[in-house]
Structure 1
Amino acid sequence: MTARATRDAGGVPATFLAGYIEILDAVSVSKRRLARDELESRRALGASAAEAGVALRSLVDLYLSVNWLVWRDLPAVTAAKNKEDVVGIAEAIMRAADDVVVALAEGYAEAQRATMRQEEAERREFIDDLFHGRSDLGRLAERAERFGLRLAGTYIVTAAKADHPFTDGDAVTRRVESLLLRQFDAHQVLVTTKQGLLLCIAPGALPNASTEFARHLENVLPPDQVGQVAVGRAHPGPGGILRSYEEARATLELAAALGLQSPVLSATELLVFQVLFRDRAAIIDLVGTVLGPLDKSRGGAMPLLETLSAYFATGENAAAAARRLFLSVRAFTYRLDRVKHLTGHDPRDPEQRFTLEAAVLGARLLNWPDQELPD
């Protein structure tokens, strides 16, 4: 009978029944509920089936097949004297089968949760090692294969931030990952989180993954949240992913400091600013020397600094910049003249424009004049 049940269940080994027929024999006679140890044994078998890769549906099919196959030969059934006895036995057997299926499912689900927790822990450990370079490169490459990454290749990391930090289990992270995996193979794209950022790691040969990542994030984010995405450059080798990630993260930080509102940023496009601000002492000196005299203005430095920011942001279009600040063109050009008078640099002079713009960007980075320049 167990062989027949195994065939009916698609080949699930009879070892997962382990004593079930004996339990049915006992229940048919006593009509009792299953004991705690009997239920625990089914939970353990359910867990073993999950670990062995047996489908829950097939496992349940195995048990239900045994129920109807052994029914007629149960001792109490063959000895039953009337209809009422048979009905009582049937009720006890069906109740036992119900309890057994529940116990199997509980054990199966717990094993699956444990496996998922283990896999997630391994995934998180791998991500941490990948971005910290703490693991042997050979071992790291082996582990990377499990997650579809070939560290010998070239990869691009795209990082996203929002008003609320991203976590591995939140709804936005899961949804963006699900949408991406509908378009790309799971061995091509890895979605994870780090330090509140949502990351997409994709081969350099798959540049549209970054575009789709940004598009899905925009569609999935709640209306009350604003997101921004930065795309790192493609880099090869085991250290390439870390380097691309650091570029993407630095781009987001730089954009925040400079007040850049573009929803998608490129590390390549902002590379010049990263180079410019790498020497903090030099940029402090530049801001203090070039823009420091603006403090002598009657309204302080901020109005004139805003004037310069608007002027440069509109491509040196005085009329457009004036509209942005709700000023007349005459008032705006007066402010430009004040900048020239106080600093000695004319924002309308192409040769002096770069110095002023670099100083303005440096002021944003240093949050000047709201904060005093460091010594």
Structure 2
Amino acid sequence: MNDDGARRPPRPARGGGRRTTGDGDGQWLADVAAGAARDAGNVPVALLGDYLPLLADAAIAGRKPERAELDAVEALGRRAAEQGISAGRVVQLYLSAARRLWQDLPEVVRSRDREAVRAAAAAVLQVVDDAVATLAEGYAVARRDLVRREETLRRELIDDLLRGDSDLGALVGRAEPFGLDLARVHQVALAAPSRRLPDTDAAITALEAVIFDRLGDRDVLVATKDGLLVVLAPADATAPDGTPGRHDTPDDLGRLMHDQLRRLPRGRPWRIAVGRPHPGLYGIARSYEEAREALTMASRLRVSTPVVNARDLLIYRVLLRDQPAIVELVHAVLHPLTQARGGAEPLLATLQAYFDTGGVATETAKRIPVSVRAVTYRLARIRVLTGYDPADPAHRFTLQAAVLGARALDWPEQPLPAAG
């Protein structure tokens, strides 16, 4: 009797006697459950549910679990996933419980013949097989649901962060579960595939693995937006061990991303653009806009390097700040090139390569590529059509500024905007 007068279930003796799954086995099964929980790293005993009685019934009576009982095990798998317990520990809990229970069963079935013991073992293994498979299925379903919910929250958060006009107080609370401190200095990097974004899960997983390893998982967010991969990272990063992060310049983040993405089977070649670091919530949106502009400019300028930095393209923002003036310059200086056979583009490409190589005709020929004679012929045609000599230092600045403006405006691919 216990203190309140209720009858305490007797603990089965260790020395023998037939155990059943009746009330007298409560303490025995509780001991087995507690031991299995310790084996699995102190996983909650409640996650076993009625699994141990199912095993005992199978061993002693050969009873198979009913569908409703397996459904209950599946629900326990979902609960384990929702509680953040790893799948390995939950499976270990179930396997350890089966092992501990079976260690006591030989005393129960010792009087049976060999075939009866074999049948009991087969029945127990069948229950273990069914229960663990059902447990894992429930766990996987719950994890998929959690991943979908997290992905939705991640996508909504990144959209609001990059837009820059959301309520700061609300965003702080939403960003905290993702480890983002919106008061820090962040930068945004964008990755554009050559055609279409490949499997997003694989791309995000690949980026997360390498970026988390280099920068840690705090203040880092990887997502997709408008067909691009987006990486939000701290500019003053620290590694997971607390030491300074291993990227010293904004370009390092871009190179880190490119080195990882180019290994993916699809999406190559990738173009990476990195915005400048800025503090606070609105700095994130500003860095994102700079990265988008850098992607656009890199395409228009036909930049050959796979990683571009917004800092290196600031001249184009300066040029476009007074768009009417740059439109007038391009029209006045370069529009006569449209009279050439083949249009303005070959001559414009020659001018750009000529300036990029420091005015060296042989290097220009390699860059385009054409013969050196073709380069000298085109430079002469430019001088005749525009009245500006690319080799004359007094003319070179005007021509180069006009070329930069033409590329920024995507001319002659697109018509010049109307002067306003």
TM-score bin, normalised by smaller chain: 0.7 to 0.9
- Residue-by-residue CA offset, 1:220-247 (whole Å, 9 max, x unaligned): 4148822222221111111111111110
Separation of aligned partners in 1, 2:193 and 2:300: 15
Instruction: State the secondary structure of the residue aligned to 2:311.
Output: coil
Separation of aligned partners in 2, 1:25 and 1:342: 96
Separation of aligned partners in 1, 2:114 and 2:233: 68
The letter of the residue matching 1:255 is A
1:47-58 counterparts in 2 under 5 A? 47-54=78-85, 55-58=89-92
Query: Which of 270, 281, 284 lines up with 1:241 in the alignment?
Result: 284
- Residue-by-residue CA offset, 1:94-141 (whole Å, 9 max, x unaligned): 212221122222222222222222222222221111112353201212
Q: Which residue of 2 aligns with 1:19?
A: 50
Q: Which residue of 2 aligns with 1:153?
A: 184
Per the TM alignment, residue 147 of structure 1 is displaced from its structure 2 partner at its CA by 1.9
Per the TM alignment, residue 197 of structure 1 is displaced from its structure 2 partner at its CA by 2.2
Instruction: State the secondary structure of the residue aligned to 2:209.
Output: helix
1:43-82 counterparts in 2 under 5 A? 43-54=74-85, 55-61=89-95, 63-65=97-99, 67-68=101-102, 71=105, 77=109, 82=113
- Segments of 5+ residues of structure 1 without an aligned counterpart are none
Query: Which of 189, 196, 215 lines up with 2:227 in the alignment?
Result: 196
Q: TM-score, normalised by structure 1?
A: 0.86
Per the TM alignment, residue 170 of structure 1 is displaced from its structure 2 partner at its CA by 3.9
Per the TM alignment, residue 360 of structure 1 is displaced from its structure 2 partner at its CA by 2.1
Separation of aligned partners in 1, 2:379 and 2:417: 27
Q: Which residue of 1 aligns with 2:17?
A: none
Matched residues, percent identical? 43
- Structure 1 residues 291 and 93 mapped into 2: Cα distance closer, same or farther (>3 Å)? same
Instruction: State the secondary structure of the residue aligned to 2:222.
Output: strand
Instruction: State the secondary structure of the residue aligned to 2:370.
Output: coil
Q: Report whether the alignment pairs 1:40 with 2:81.
A: no
1:252-331 counterparts in 2 under 5 A? 252-298=295-341, 300-324=343-367, 325-328=369-372
Q: How many residues align?
A: 371
Q: Which residue of 2 aligns with 1:171?
A: 202
- Residue-by-residue CA offset, 1:54-109 (whole Å, 9 max, x unaligned): 431443145315632663687xx59x764433433332222122211222222222
Query: Which of 13, 17, 37 lines up with 1:9 in the alignment?
Result: 37
- Structure 1 residues 4 and 184 mapped into 2: Cα distance closer, same or farther (>3 Å)? same
- Structure 1 residues 303 and 123 mapped into 2: Cα distance closer, same or farther (>3 Å)? closer
Contact 1:43 1:103 in 2 (8 A): yes
Q: Which residue of 2 aligns with 1:135?
A: 166
Q: Which residue of 1 aligns with 2:22?
A: none
Separation of aligned partners in 1, 2:183 and 2:107: 63
RMSD over aligned Cα, in angstroms?
A: 2.9
- Structure 1 residues 371 and 199 mapped into 2: Cα distance closer, same or farther (>3 Å)? closer
Contact 1:5 1:65 in 2 (8 A): no
Contact 1:168 1:193 in 2 (8 A): no
Separation of aligned partners in 1, 2:227 and 2:417: 29
Contact 1:12 1:58 in 2 (8 A): no
- Structure 1 residues 323 and 130 mapped into 2: Cα distance closer, same or farther (>3 Å)? closer
Separation of aligned partners in 2, 1:215 and 1:14: 44
Q: Which residue of 2 aligns with 1:93?
A: 124
Per the TM alignment, residue 249 of structure 1 is displaced from its structure 2 partner at its CA by 1.4
1:208-247 counterparts in 2 under 5 A? 208=248, 210-222=251-263, 225-247=268-290
Per the TM alignment, residue 152 of structure 1 is displaced from its structure 2 partner at its CA by 0.9
The letter of the residue matching 2:75 is A
